Amino acid sequence: MKKIALVLMAAIAAFTLWMAPSAQAADLGHGGQIFGNNCAACHIGGGNVVNGAKTLKQGDLDQYGMASIEAITTQVNNGKNAMPAFKGRLTDEDIADVAAYVLSQAEKGW
């Protein structure tokens, strides 16, 4: 009985570690620095100097299906229209942090 319990506990522990997210929590301070250095020229205060209808404000992110870390990460990685791709120019960690920062700022109203 003890052996079965130990095997079961080991299996649960292994499964938990396997399913745990590999990335650590985003660093919003770092994301803010990345944003300031790479994004703010076009997106100051969550705006958009190229296309004023597609800002980083919560309503626009919701409207255009961009209100998630995944969507923002994809946009930053690949770019779109006038926005350049940052994949290869920024690290995956930089992009994850800036995506979290953008979403956090949008939720706060910039």
CA-based nearest residue to 71, from 60, 48, 30, 21? 60
Of 11-15, 22-26, 77-81, 103-107, give the lowest mean pLDDT range. Answer: 11-15
Q: How confident is the model at residue 3 (pLDDT cuts 50, 70, 90)?
A: low
pLDDT tens for each residue of 49-98: 999 999 999 999 999 999 999 999 999 999 999 999 999 999 999 999 99
CB 76 within 8 A of CB 95: yes
pTM beyond 0.85, yes or no: no
- Domains located in the chain, CATH noted: 26-108 (1.10.760.10)
